[in-house]
Amino acid sequence: MRICPICTGNQVIDGAIRFDHGGLLFELNQCLSCAHLFYVNTVEFNFREDFVHKRSIRGYIEKIADMEQTLSVVYNVLHENPSWKLGTDIGCGVGIVMDFAFTMRQCRMIGFEPSPDYSEEGSNVLKLHVVPDYFDLKYLQGQYMDFATCFQVLQLVSDPLTFLQEIKRGLKEDGVLILSTPDNEKLKDDNAVSHYFSAFSPGVHRQLFSKESLQAALTSAGFTETAIFRYNGHLFALAGSKDLSDIDLFRLNPEVLTDYYIKKLRLLQPGSSYFNGFWYRLYRTKIDKGDYQDAFEMLTSVDWFDVWSAEEINAISKPEKLFELNTAADGIIYYYTAILFLNHLHRVEYAEKFFELSFYLCSKIIQLHPEVSTIEKDIVWLAKYHQILALYYQGKTQQANLEAYQLRYHQKEFYNHIDHPPHDLIEKVVNLQEKYR
């Protein structure tokens, strides 16, 4: 009989979730007492030599979807604890959290990152203290940490209880662990594997926590006070030895983030992935806030961005070609540039073109590089909707109607590999057709 690796309960449903991926059958068991999900397959994934990671590194630095959220969480906790000066980031990736903590709160952090491409970026470009290895107390050399961060790592670990105990041993008595991991709440829904594929990450993830199993894991690792929050499909936890429930963990701090991006853009070389990533985030933030003039000035001062034609984009057939783009975020930058043309410069014909390019490129990225296409999935249909809107604005009614029809009925050859547009978007298109009939 199988036993739950977290609560050691012996009521386990074998094969609670089964799916096929890459010709292999993957199976997850679920504990009936704590709802923990764990893979039966024990494919050992070696982060030290992984070529997919190497290729995806640009995508992560330049546009990783949840960076703003993660940095806001870190900022909100550090802001409440101004005396903290020393921390560790376990699974620090390219070191953005460490760099942010130092730049904005003067906290020094020791990072752990076994994947050499990631750890080298952080060490060489951002000059951070990154240990190119798995977390091990010996590297802390007897220093105890005010805090530890561990984002999106716990699900990768084969023995989470021992791992959490080690982290606890590296903390000061009143030290705090801040962590996040996918929430398994919706993973048994229909179509969950395709909707939440990154949470499943077959062959890479080992455990998928429920709120209860995360609570159980932290408690048995010796954390006496914990606060666990559900947020956007993830669980966030604060764990320590004093009450932590008061912190407003998810308050977004756009002005702090903007300040950070501007500081970094002054220091970094244009053309580096970090530079591109911060540039894109600052540009997008300005447009989201309606600071169009600032965004326009950013755009006109750029000399490293070439716009690809629709023919060039549609001719892309291999993921390698995507790496010749200016940045991994080009499809999103086109979208925001189109918004700028539409709302600020009132050049509808240019807006229409950029929305169209954004649609084509986002759709290519979803097809060829799905692992890092979360934002593209969010905007691909918005881009098409706005393109149709821009066509109507220009009186190109016939073309607009055709595009609207194809969107509603998902009828276009290259639509096949992207999910159907959401219902509310289809409704908006129907309303447009009515209005411009």
140, 80 Cβ separation under 8 angstroms: no
Residue spans of beta strands (DSSP E) within 152-245:
171-182, 207-208, 225-231, 234-240
Nearer to Zn ion, 8 or 224 (CB): 8
Q: At its nearest, how many Å lie between Zn ion and the CB of residue 240?
A: 23
Q: How many residues bind Zn ion (CB under 5 A)?
A: 8
Who contacts 232 (Cβ-Cβ below 8 Å, separation ≥6)? 66, 69
Tokens of 244: 């932590």
132, 116 Cβ separation under 8 angstroms: yes
Q: At its nearest, how many Å lie between Zn ion and the CB of residue 300?
A: 57
Nearer to Zn ion, 40 or 262 (CB): 40
Nearer to Zn ion, 7 or 90 (CB): 7
383 binds Zn ion (CB under 5 A): no
37 binds Zn ion (CB under 5 A): no
Q: At its nearest, how many Å lie between Zn ion and the CB of residue 33?
A: 5
Strand order, beta sheet including 145-151: 129-131, 108-112, 86-90, 145-151, 171-182, 234-240, 225-231
List the interface residues with Zn ion, window 80-119 (CB under 5 A): none
4 binds Zn ion (CB under 5 A): yes
Who contacts 360 (Cβ-Cβ below 8 Å, separation ≥6)? 310, 313, 314, 414
Nearer to Zn ion, 209 or 278 (CB): 209
Nearer to Zn ion, 36 or 364 (CB): 36
131 binds Zn ion (CB under 5 A): no
Q: At its nearest, how many Å lie between Zn ion and the CB of residue 31?
A: 3
Question: Which residues are registered as beta bridge partners of 27?
Answer: 18
State the amino acid at position 420 in one-letter form. Answer: H
Stretch that binds Zn ion, among 3-11, 145-153, 344-352, 413-421 (CB under 5 A): 3-11
Measured CA to CA, the distance from residue 355 to residue 372 in angstroms comes to 20
Nearer to Zn ion, 30 or 70 (CB): 30
Q: At its nearest, how many Å lie between Zn ion and the CB of residue 218?
A: 14
Tokens of 219: 């408690």
CA 23 to chain centre: 27
Q: At its nearest, how many Å lie between Zn ion and the CB of residue 217?
A: 9
Q: At its nearest, how many Å lie between Zn ion and the CB of residue 13?
A: 11
Nearer to Zn ion, 212 or 312 (CB): 212
Q: Give just the sign of the alpha carbon dihedral 125, 130, 131, 132.
A: negative
171 binds Zn ion (CB under 5 A): no
Q: At its nearest, how many Å lie between Zn ion and the CB of residue 36?
A: 5
- Please calculate the CA angle 75-76-78 and round it to the nearest 5 degrees: 60
Q: At its nearest, how many Å lie between Zn ion and the CB of residue 221?
A: 15
Looking up tokens 């030895």 gives 241
153 binds Zn ion (CB under 5 A): no
Q: At its nearest, how many Å lie between Zn ion and the CB of residue 212?
A: 8
208 binds Zn ion (CB under 5 A): no
Q: At its nearest, how many Å lie between Zn ion and the CB of residue 15?
A: 16
Question: Which residues are registered as beta bridge partners of 231?
Answer: 234
Measured CA to CA, the distance from residue 435 to residue 432 in angstroms comes to 5
List the interface residues with Zn ion, window 395-414 (CB under 5 A): none
- Taking alpha carbons only, the member of 56, 100, 55, 52 closest to residue 78 is 100
Nearer to Zn ion, 4 or 404 (CB): 4
| Helices and strands: H and E segment counts in the chain | 18, 11
Q: Give just the sign of the alpha carbon dihedral 323, 326, 327, 328.
A: negative
Single residue of 17, 26, 36, 92 touching Zn ion by CB under 5 A: 36
Nearer to Zn ion, 33 or 241 (CB): 33
SS3 303: coil
Nearer to Zn ion, 8 or 124 (CB): 8
List the interface residues with Zn ion, window 6-35 (CB under 5 A): 6-7, 9, 31, 33-34
Stretch that binds Zn ion, among 4-12, 120-128, 239-247, 409-417 (CB under 5 A): 4-12
Nearer to Zn ion, 147 or 209 (CB): 209
Measured CA to CA, the distance from residue 49 to residue 15 in angstroms comes to 30
Tokens of 364: 């290519």
Residues engaged in binding Zn ion (CB under 5 A) = 4, 6-7, 9, 31, 33-34, 36
